[in-house]
Amino acid sequence: MFDYGAGNLHSLAKALATAPGAEVRVQEDPLRALDTDVLVLPGVGAFGAAMARLEPGREAMRAALEDGLPCLGICLGMQLLFEGSDEGAGVGLGYFQGQVTRLMARRVPEMGWNQVEDDRTLSSARLDTVYYAHSYVCRAADASWVTGWTTHEGDRFPAAVRKGNVVGVQFHPEKSSSAGVRFVQAFLQEVSR
């Protein structure tokens, strides 16, 4: 798991550790974070600050993802997988084309439980209601990458995206009770095959 200085590491590490055979290691160096079977980009924080920490390894991380390194990006971690964000400076990983924009709603941030519509992210862990805590959302350039949608006050945006073994989720599975833990376990099981 890559630690960019603001992620929700404790809860996420506990959720990851529930998967059979999982060994969770936290790494602050973006290049050393690539020495793993599965890269996890945690949620919580600001895009600009996170990208500043990731920048020394940005090209290597993008190349590793393109070469097939499985990755789970959560909330801000999902946003880092995109090209850039209106929230702050810095170039994202660009694994998914598209921009991160402010949530178009009266109540921002969205904090609380909301549904995932038409979820097809993982074959063995369908999601329904999960926990969100965010002010920015990903606007994917290609809707075929979107594997689940959600709506907050009329703004419909991706709840989940997937391309190969790289999955990004706008919600927090580590805060989404047993359904979120099942999702993390299913992701790890699926990408370890």
Structure confidence by residue, pLDDT tens digits, 73-131: 999 999 999 999 999 889 999 999 999 999 999 999 999 999 999 999 998 888 899 99
What average pLDDT does the segment 168-181 reach? 94
Instruction: Tell me the CA distances in angstroms from 84 to 41, 63, 136, 187, one per residue in order.
Output: 16, 17, 11, 25
pLDDT of residue 7: 63
What average pLDDT does the segment 134-160 reach? 97
Full domain range(s) for residue 26: 9-192
Specify if 85 maps to a domain.
yes
Judge if pTM exceeds 0.85: yes
CA distance 97 to 90: 15
Specify if 138 maps to a domain.
yes
Decide: helix, strand or coil at residue 156.
strand
The answer to whether 9 and 168 are in contact (CB under 8 A) is no
Specify if 116 maps to a domain.
yes
Q: Which residues contact 32 (CB under 8 A, 6 or more apart)?
A: none
Burial of 82 (0-12, 13-18, 19+ CB in 10 A): buried
> Which CATH number do you get for residue 95?
3.40.50.880
Decide: helix, strand or coil at residue 61.
helix
What average pLDDT does the segment 33-44 reach? 93
Catalytic residues: 75, 172, 174
pLDDT of residue 6: 67
Instruction: Tell me the CA distances in angstroms from 135 to 88, 103, 108, 112, 170, one per residue in order.
Output: 13, 6, 6, 12, 10
How many domains would you assign to the chain? 1
Average model confidence (pLDDT) across the chain:
94
Q: Which residues contact 26 (CB under 8 A, 6 or more apart)?
A: 1, 3, 9, 13
In a 13 Å sphere around the CA of 150, the CA atoms on its Cβ side amount to 25
Specify if 59 maps to a domain.
yes
% of the chain beyond a pLDDT of 70: 98
pLDDT of residue 18: 87
Q: Which residues contact 138 (CB under 8 A, 6 or more apart)?
A: 78, 79, 81, 82, 96, 98, 99, 100, 157, 158, 161, 168, 170
Specify if 105 maps to a domain.
yes
* Tokens read off for 107: 């109540």
Specify if 64 maps to a domain.
yes
CA distance 193 to 31: 24
Specify if 179 maps to a domain.
yes
Specify if 166 maps to a domain.
yes
